[in-house]
A and B are shown apart, each in its own frame.
Chain A
Amino acid sequence: MSNELTPIDDSVAPQHAPRATDINPVSEKRAEQQVAILFGLSGVGSVLLIYSYIFVADNVFIFIPIMGNQNAQQLGIGIGMAMSLFFIGIAAIHWAKTLMPDKEVVNHRHEFRSSDEDRAELVQTVKEGVAGVQLGRRKLIKRSLGAAVGLFALPPVLLLRDLGPLPGKQLEMTNWKAGTRLLTDPGNRPILASDLEVGAVVQVLPAVDHEDERPLSDIAKDPVLLIRLRPQDFQLTPEKFAMTHEGIIAFSKICSHMGCAVALYEQQTKHLLCPCHQSTFDVTRGAKVIFGPAARPLPQLDITVDAEGYLVSRAPFNEAVGPSFWERNSQ
């Protein structure tokens, strides 16, 4: 990649134009004053900060156009801090640009490659050092060293074992059993089929022993959406239709893509939309994915009513809810 073309002219010397402050004492004096004023403004900022911190109450709001009502204390501390920092910087830069010497100087670069002599000496040193270790000759030491180091690599990994429990079947299980009542969330009230009008959507959780103390890891799996349509709106297989009750259909609210709450229901189109990645599920067709990255429909919960007429689950979910994982066994 040698360049055969010679540059046109590289003998042009860099030009150094003197600044106004270099030749005019008036400019020089003015620049000095400007720097001093800038440092002074920084001081004003610090005073504003201290004043706001001590003397401005935290419930005073002032109106500022565009920004609306602002907390005077926060604003005073913030603006004071910004001023006290900013003007120190501006002053230093102005000082450097106007008054400090601005002549550019030249340094030379050294080549990074070491000399051949140094390299040869290094090779020699390393060779001698390695020879001194005698690994080539002492087979027994070499092997036992390898074994020891290999074994030593295990404990650090092993020591991390107690970070958490093994997954077991946890991802496949929820608190939905046969006959578990559906409770409103929030409120924890059982629901009669007649409580739901056509078009209604309700979030429910399973009845458990301590409903006020559900761990978040249960709420990450248990939420179910109840949606009531007219039975003739459904286009379901007979098995899936049998899992509905008088037009009420129940889906896991946990997205089958990445586990966000599928919280947006559009009544007109009867679509459920996940706000995270816009996977869209068609309720009438058993939450079939009609758009977005989700690959599976939302799991459907089999529901019926108990003797008192309250909605209950007839059986647990027949597949794992939430995002996929390696051990997930689905058809």
Chain B
Amino acid sequence: MTTTEKIVGNTANFVDERLGAAKWVKKSLNKVFPDHWSFMFGEVCMYSFVILLLSGTFLTLWFDPSQKDVIYNGAYEPLKGLKMSAAYASTLNISFEVRGGLLMRQIHHWAANIFMAAIVAHLLRVFFTGAFRKPREFNWILGILLLTLGLVEGLFGYSLPDDLLSGTGLRITSAIIQAIPVVGTYVSFFLFGGAFPGTDFIPRIFTLHILLIPGIFLAVITIHVMLVWYQKHTQFPGVGRTETNVVGHPILPVYMAKAGGFFFVVFGITAFLGAVASINPIWLYGPYTPGQISAGSQPDWYMGWLDGLVRMAPPLETHAFGHTISWNILIPAVIVPGIIFTGMALYPFIESWITGDKREHHLLDRPRNVPNRTALGVMSVTFVMISLINGGNDIIATNFDLSINQIMWFSRIGIFILPPLAFIITKRLCLSLQRADRELLLHGAESGRLLRLPHGEFVEVHTPISPEKAFLLQSHEQLTPLEIEDVDARGVRRPGAIKNKIQRRLSKAHAVSVPKVTEQELKEIENH
């Protein structure tokens, strides 16, 4: 026995005699993780969260979360002698006087953007491959919670420096809160400690931003990952992969080395961006004052789509009985996002109701094989993209020499027409892809080799596809509509006729698909 083995053995013995951990750890180290490039998005989320914790802690060492007035006397000449909040002055200090401070600020901001982008990519991957299905509905809901928290955390984060741009964002935030009927004005006065902007809001959101929300994040991410661990990761279909197994590399050593290495890669890339790509140069905006504004005021992209919805809203207000209801704010900033996030959270249950499928699923869908879900996803993405484009309408107008009014009208009409259009086109595309799969199975791949037959006819030679590929193309299930009768076996009308009708219609739409190749068809082809 070498010395190293002895030390490891003794340590293991010490721990195991006290915790009995050997059995669990042994099992865990043999745990298998399937491999696919799209599974990396979730990892990127987790790693950028760690980067955010590290860089954020660094920033708190110098940041002063106070809205007290100070006269700036730091290193940045253009703002010398100006009255500003201590929050803004200390952010300038971090940017210009702390060595590596600007780098850390930029790493923190880039990591936040990467965090949100990775959450969105991860969400789309999970949605389009059906990974949210039973038994993973809880984890889907936790994911939606993390996305929502991320939006709030990001908004609070970029509001902290108290520059002209972020202050404008808070002005809009306070207007949204004020627009809530009955309690809005009170809630706004309590949150801001009086009339906007007051001097309390930044210290308060600082506590939320660095303590409460990260704490919730940490707890929810832990549960999220533990559930993945416990329920085991889903896998794409393929030879040897079934609903009852999981094929991949064990945690030790390959997965651990790859995942651990990937953390450093993500951190390295974020640091590179922080080093070379300027982000949120607050010294250019100046300190916040409600009487001023900079043209082209833009939130970060993950809030931009909400701002785009607000921009395209119709100018509607109700004045009645001495009260005002601002539909122009409530609809785009409260009602529509509320519907979208609730709908997202409930989607696994809605789909399971439509398909009547209550089984466990561990094999992922290829998006083309569930055309209705894929089309719904693309429709939602289209909706958000149009909103996002409208959120940048002023920037687009300036850069492409267009009129803001034209872009706004394009969005106002497009938001109703383009998402349904995207739905139809996507569904057609999925069915075409299914047909192409069927062709591939029945007739093989086009080889590009032309053959002239003795009687003069030209044909293209098709080469048969590999057995692995053939297996993959055949591995999905044929979607079938639910059969719901309005009357039961005894001829008695069932309750809930309208509900049944809706479910039947949706189920029929969901099950539209190209028939799978049967064994018989294959045999016939072989006999040709």
A positions within 8 Å CB-CB of B: 1, 3-10, 12-15, 53, 58, 67, 70-71, 73-75, 77-79, 81-93, 95-97, 100-102, 104-109, 111-112, 160-161, 163-167, 170-171, 185, 203, 205, 216-217, 219-223, 253-254, 257-261, 263-264, 275-279, 289, 291-296, 322-331
Minimum C-beta distance from B520 to chain A (A):
10
**Which chain B residue shows the least CB distance to A212?**
B83
**Which chain B residue shows the least CB distance to A111?**
B360
* Residue in contact with B324 in the complex, picked from A164, A166, A257, A325, CB distance below 8 Å: A325
Scoring B residues 166 to 200 as 1 if CB is less than 8 Å from chain A, else 0, what string do you get? 00100110111011111111101111111111101
Cα distance A244–B468 when bound, in Å? 82
Contact, CB under 8 Å: B296 / A275: yes
Contact, CB under 8 Å: B317 / A5: no
**Which chain A residue shows the least CB distance to B470?**
A8
Q: Which 4 A-B pairs have the closest CB atoms?
A: A78-B275, A86-B268, A92-B261, A89-B264
Tell me if B250 is interfacial: C-beta within 8 Å of chain A. yes
Contact, CB under 8 Å: B324 / A328: yes
A223 cross-chain contacts in B, Cβ below 8 A = 290-291
Contact, CB under 8 Å: A323 / B275: no
Taking chain A's interface residues, is the majority helix, strand, or loop, or is none over half, making it mixed?
A: loop
Tell me if B57 is interfacial: C-beta within 8 Å of chain A. no
Considering only CB atoms and an 8 Å cut-off, how many residues of chain B contact the other chain? Answer: 120
Cα distance A140–B60 when bound, in Å? 53
From known contacts A89-B264, A106-B32, A278-B408, infer whether A292 and B311 are also in contact, taking CB-CB under 8 Å: yes
Pick from B244, B258, B315 the residue with the most CB of A within 10 Å. B315
Contact, CB under 8 Å: B276 / A75: yes
Contact, CB under 8 Å: A295 / B326: yes
Pick from B188, B290, B474 the residue with the most CB of A within 10 Å. B290
Cα distance A79–B364 when bound, in Å? 40
Cα distance A301–B402 when bound, in Å? 34
Minimum C-beta distance from A60 to chain B (A):
13
Cα distance A241–B294 when bound, in Å? 31
Contact, CB under 8 Å: A293 / B315: yes
Minimum C-beta distance from A10 to chain B (A):
6
B174 cross-chain contacts in A, Cβ below 8 A = 259
* Residue in contact with B178 in the complex, picked from A75, A92, A278, A324, CB distance below 8 Å: A324
* Residue in contact with A5 in the complex, picked from B271, B329, B516, CB distance below 8 Å: B516
Cα distance A104–B32 when bound, in Å? 9
Contact, CB under 8 Å: B405 / A291: yes
Cα distance A222–B196 when bound, in Å? 12
Contact, CB under 8 Å: B171 / A90: no
Contact, CB under 8 Å: A216 / B289: yes
B317 cross-chain contacts in A, Cβ below 8 A = 295-296, 324
Minimum C-beta distance from B141 to chain A (A):
17
Scoring B residues 342 to 365 as 1 if CB is less than 8 Å from chain A, else 0, what string do you get? 000000000000011100101000
* Residue in contact with B467 in the complex, picked from A12, A258, A294, A330, CB distance below 8 Å: A12
Minimum C-beta distance from A174 to chain B (A):
11
B200 cross-chain contacts in A, Cβ below 8 A = 163-164
Cα distance A276–B293 when bound, in Å? 9
Tell me if B265 is interfacial: C-beta within 8 Å of chain A. yes
* Residue in contact with B290 in the complex, picked from A73, A86, A89, A219, CB distance below 8 Å: A219
A330 cross-chain contacts in B, Cβ below 8 A = 319, 324
Contact, CB under 8 Å: B291 / A88: no
Tell me if B274 is interfacial: C-beta within 8 Å of chain A. yes
Cα distance A295–B315 when bound, in Å? 4
Contact, CB under 8 Å: B314 / A293: yes
